[in-house]
Structure 1
Amino acid sequence: MARPRTHGKARAATVASLEPPKQQGRPRSSGSKKCDRCGRMAAKIRVHWPDGAICGICFTEALHTHGRCPSCGDRRLLPGRDADGEAICRDCAGITRPEMVCIRCGAEAERFRGGACARCVVTGDLEALLKPTNPPDLRLARLVHVLANVRRPESIYTWMRGKRAHELLTQIGERSIELTNESLDQLPRSPAVDHLRDILIHHRMIIAPEDRYLAIFERWLAKRLDELHDRPRIASVIEQYATWHHLSRLRMRIGAANMDIAARDARQQITEAGRFLIWVEDAKHLTVETFTQIHIDEYLTDAVSTRYEIKNFISWYAKNRSGQRQLYVPKRKAVLPLPSLTQKHRLQVIRNAIEFDQVALGTRVAALIHLLWATPLTRLVQLKVTCIELRPDGMRIALGRTPSEIPELLAPLFWQHREDRTNQQTTNVGTDWLFPGYRAGRHLSVPTLQQRFHVIGLDPQRTRNTTLKSLTGQIDVHSLAQTLGYAPKTLAAHAERAGIYMSRYVEAKRIARTPAVR
């Protein structure tokens, strides 16, 4: 028997219960040597500078700190520290050791290999792999420049040393692979190929496919059908369903803002349809032509919600393949009341988003947008940096037709994130996404954002329901739809659940019949 769901009883994370952030890179080793800069115990001391013994972590951080020196006013590397702990240049700090000057380009940077900085090392390795001058190829020369001149070339060095990436770059250098979509499509799909394609598209070295999400869907479908090669009857039905029902609809949506979500939904529905037909064959020893409504009902009895994704398949199958048989998927009974939080819980999560300094600022800002305006995650990740505006009367965020005021207490957090967004250390530069992703030209993915929200105790579904219930109880549906960008019909349903006054309920129902706000 399925476990009953609870609503609003989960406890919000607190500072005491906050999970420590995972350390990036190599595990930190401890020892008997104390760093005078960070106070940590280390196995060995990297260097001794005027302000004391410096561990390896602080040394690397110091050699990645650039800016204007508060002592002399020069803009340069700031590895030293003054008496107040301010970062200062090496001349003002009295640092004379040469390990922070590249022997190739003379730039102030950490020596990465053979006395050269990471940028020079990456440039040399890429030129050796891609051979942009033998024969001369301007696009390859530009690719070397793009990869070597990122803010953190060490990340590019790590990527290009991976087996798949190294093989790919070698083949390009040998001219056995051209920098075209057609050539990349012929390769087995891998993160290295997808990453390189995104880099080339984002930096306009190749033309983007008509729709990248459609291309990804077509490659996924070919792989899925290949996995069903030992079940020819099922493969035939799934191919027809995927081609006639989903692929044709996706091609009509090319360029739509939510194309990624539509393609993901199509993949899930196709996957669930395949699982159902496999269950029909294996569990009931029937064929795709002989299952009945009884088997659909049995398959959905006490089933997880994802099984109901066969609804579109059954509708298509009844219309196109089953002759006169009447097949349908019964409506799934919604769990009432809707999963929600207590206001105390919601306020605690808002406090977490403001106070948890050890959590990435982008995660905290995204959480605040979701907590205050109930923006769905699918829309949240697609917000552009231009949606936040600084005006003489305050800061505004545009989620719908009517911009909403950002509380004065939160304005510095929003502006700091807007001006220094994460994930722009490598190839995803020049993007206008408010929440950039890891790949060039991409925004953050919904699953990644969900994982980050978990750190501060935020449950998106519960939070959205609670926030909308609160807002619809305070603001009329029409005004709220203009502010949040929701369809009035959706807000009218939440207003009804919030128990608004009957006069406002009638108005909400009238507004619900107006066209949705896009």
Structure 2
Amino acid sequence: MGLARNQVPLAHEGLSQLTPWRSVAYLRDLLMQCGVLPPADRHLLLFQRWLAEKLPTVSDPEHRKLLDLFATWHIQRRLRTLAGRGPLTGSQTQQARNKLYLAINFLDHLAQRGRALADCTQADVDTWCAGGYTARRLTHSFLRWAMQSKHMPTVTIPHRSTANPAPITQHQRLALLRQLVNRDDIPLQGRVAAVLVLLYAQPLTRITRLSSDDVQHEDGKVLVRLGDPPSPVPAPFDGMLLNYLGHRPNTKTATNPDARWLFPGRRAGQPMTPEAGAPRLRQLGFPTRPGRTAAIRQLVLQAPVPVIARMLGYNDDHTTRLAEEAGGTWRHYAPGDHAR
């Protein structure tokens, strides 16, 4: 009603004043899709709205001031950097929210010990990190920011493991790929997503950002553009991918009449989210991270690391590390050798 009566400007700032947020987000997507509003990252806008509602609920004014600075100069700065590279995902903004939640809890932890952040000691940090909560690793960014900005003394942040889960075996990977060909009870959308994970080691965050233009059909060959050069799609998965291309879901609605996403979502102009795709694959028994690790380890045994990294859109250093773990024979490959 506020928009209809000109009480709220038809702009992103005006929409941010309206409730409920889900309806506002849906309307915003439609207005951007129709060109009424300029493009803006919807997840960044939703995070900013959440932040404006969350900060006033922090009762301690000193805590609220610190959290506002942390959110402004660390969390939102990082989100804007990520948004400049491509649309944010729901998981990225959820992690940002979790960082603020954990920062709030850490400040409460200090208050219970009779300390302010400026008086924080190594014992305070060690006690916090020994609490047994895996999510507390998200406090590390707050601690680093607080030390760098001189809001707390220098302490040592306990090391945390960043190791990936154990990959599935090559035998398991091939068995899962065979299932993707034969199991007609699995929706085609899920089968195609699983192929991209198990064949090309692609994370769902990248898979959901692919467009239909990234699938190329030339001279009887099917290619998928994940990096440079595009990757060939072997049979029988080439036929599966082309079949899916002509039967993508969510393309016959008013919100997505001209959708170019390979995996269109239900919101106007938006792809399917990784958060929607991951549970489906898990329920079907297709692992994501263990499957990705197994795929890339197998690929780096077959070709030079720089070639695989460019083709899959991976970082050279990350791919090299996996090659060394897999015992690859291309460790001493020099760029350009493959062209000789």
Answer yes or no: same fold by TM over 0.5: yes
Task: Encode CA deviations 1:428-453: one digit per residue, 9 max, x unaligned.
Answer: 22121111111111111111110111
SS in structure 2 at match of 1:389: strand
User: Where does 1:112-511 land on structure 2 (aligned, <5 Å)?
Assistant: 179-209=10-40, 211-228=41-58, 230-252=59-81, 254-257=83-86, 259-260=88-89, 263-282=93-112, 284-301=113-130, 303-322=132-151, 325-334=153-162, 338-426=165-253, 427-501=255-329, 504-507=330-333
Segment of structure 1 superposing worse, 182-191 or 397-406:
182-191
Q: CA deviation at 1:484?
A: 0.8
SS in structure 1 at match of 2:118: coil
- Across the aligned residues of Structure 1 and Structure 2, the Cα RMSD in angstroms comes to 2.4
Q: CA deviation at 1:232?
A: 2.3
Quickly say closer, same or farther: Cα 1:289–1:435, change in 2 above 3 A: same
Q: CA deviation at 1:352?
A: 3.0
Is residue 181–residue 236 contact of structure 2 (8 Å, CA) maintained in 1? no
User: Where does 1:99-110 land on structure 2 (aligned, <5 Å)?
Assistant: none
Q: What code does the residue aligned with 1:186 have? A: Q
SS in structure 1 at match of 2:222: strand
* Stretches of structure 2 lacking an aligned partner (at least 5 in a row): 336-340
Quickly say closer, same or farther: Cα 1:322–1:172, change in 2 above 3 A: closer
Give the distance between the partners of 1:425 and 1:232, measured in 2 at CA.
Answer: 51
Is residue 251–residue 264 contact of structure 2 (8 Å, CA) maintained in 1? yes
Give the distance between the partners of 2:248 and 2:149, measured in 1 at CA.
Answer: 50
Give the distance between the partners of 1:171 and 1:180, measured in 2 at CA.
Answer: 12
Is residue 280–residue 288 contact of structure 1 (8 Å, CA) maintained in 2? yes
Give the distance between the partners of 1:474 and 1:302, measured in 2 at CA.
Answer: 44
SS in structure 2 at match of 1:289: helix
What is the total number of aligned residue pairs between the two structures? 333
Q: CA deviation at 1:376?
A: 1.4
Q: What code does the residue aligned with 1:356 have? A: R
SS in structure 2 at match of 1:505: coil
Q: What code does the residue aligned with 1:500 have? A: G
* Stretches of structure 1 lacking an aligned partner (at least 5 in a row): 1-169, 512-518
Give the distance between the partners of 1:266 and 1:174, measured in 2 at CA.
Answer: 35
SS in structure 2 at match of 1:506: coil
Give the distance between the partners of 1:398 and 1:253, measured in 2 at CA.
Answer: 21
Give the distance between the partners of 2:87 and 2:32, measured in 1 at CA.
Answer: 20
Q: CA deviation at 1:255?
A: 3.2
Quickly say closer, same or farther: Cα 1:302–1:182, change in 2 above 3 A: closer
Task: Encode CA deviations 1:404-429: one digit per residue, 9 max, x unaligned.
Answer: 11112122221121122112232122
TM-score normalized by the length of structure 1: 0.60
SS in structure 2 at match of 1:332: coil
Is residue 122–residue 156 contact of structure 2 (8 Å, CA) maintained in 1? yes
Residue identity (%): 28
Q: CA deviation at 1:490?
A: 0.8
Q: What code does the residue aligned with 1:444 have? A: M
Is residue 308–residue 329 contact of structure 1 (8 Å, CA) maintained in 2? no
Q: What code does the residue aligned with 1:301 have? A: A
Is residue 281–residue 287 contact of structure 2 (8 Å, CA) maintained in 1? yes
Q: CA deviation at 1:386?
A: 0.7
Give the distance between the partners of 2:240 and 2:139, measured in 1 at CA.
Answer: 44
Is residue 32–residue 39 contact of structure 2 (8 Å, CA) maintained in 1? yes
Is residue 177–residue 183 contact of structure 1 (8 Å, CA) maintained in 2? yes
Is residue 353–residue 456 contact of structure 1 (8 Å, CA) maintained in 2? no
SS in structure 2 at match of 1:234: helix
Aligned to 2:338: none
Task: Encode CA deviations 1:181-226: one digit per residue, 9 max, x unaligned.
Answer: 33322112421111111111112232233x4333222112112212
Q: What code does the residue aligned with 1:465 have? A: T
Give the distance between the partners of 1:203 and 1:420, measured in 2 at CA.
Answer: 24
SS in structure 1 at match of 2:217: strand
Q: What code does the residue aligned with 1:463 have? A: G
SS in structure 1 at match of 2:32: helix
Aligned to 1:146: none
Aligned to 1:150: none
SS in structure 2 at match of 1:219: helix
Is residue 165–residue 289 contact of structure 2 (8 Å, CA) maintained in 1? no
Task: Encode CA deviations 1:66-109: one digit per residue, 9 max, x unaligned.
Answer: xxxxxxxxxxxxxxxxxxxxxxxxxxxxxxxxxxxxxxxxxxxx
Task: Encode CA deviations 1:26-83: one digit per residue, 9 max, x unaligned.
Answer: xxxxxxxxxxxxxxxxxxxxxxxxxxxxxxxxxxxxxxxxxxxxxxxxxxxxxxxxxx
Is residue 198–residue 440 contact of structure 1 (8 Å, CA) maintained in 2? yes
Quickly say closer, same or farther: Cα 1:252–1:500, change in 2 above 3 A: closer
Q: CA deviation at 1:294?
A: 1.5
Give the distance between the partners of 2:162 and 2:37, measured in 1 at CA.
Answer: 47
Is residue 117–residue 151 contact of structure 2 (8 Å, CA) maintained in 1? no
Q: CA deviation at 1:238?
A: 0.8
Is residue 99–residue 139 contact of structure 2 (8 Å, CA) maintained in 1? yes
Q: What code does the residue aligned with 2:17 have? A: Q
Quickly say closer, same or farther: Cα 1:457–1:195, change in 2 above 3 A: same
Is residue 429–residue 440 contact of structure 1 (8 Å, CA) maintained in 2? no
SS in structure 2 at match of 1:221: helix
Give the distance between the partners of 1:253 and 1:447, measured in 2 at CA.
Answer: 18
Task: Tell which has more relative contact order, 1 or 2 (C-alpha 8 A, sep 6+).
Answer: 2
Q: CA deviation at 1:401?
A: 0.4
SS in structure 2 at match of 1:255: helix
**The structure with more helix, counted as a fraction of residues:** 2
Q: CA deviation at 1:178?
A: 5.8
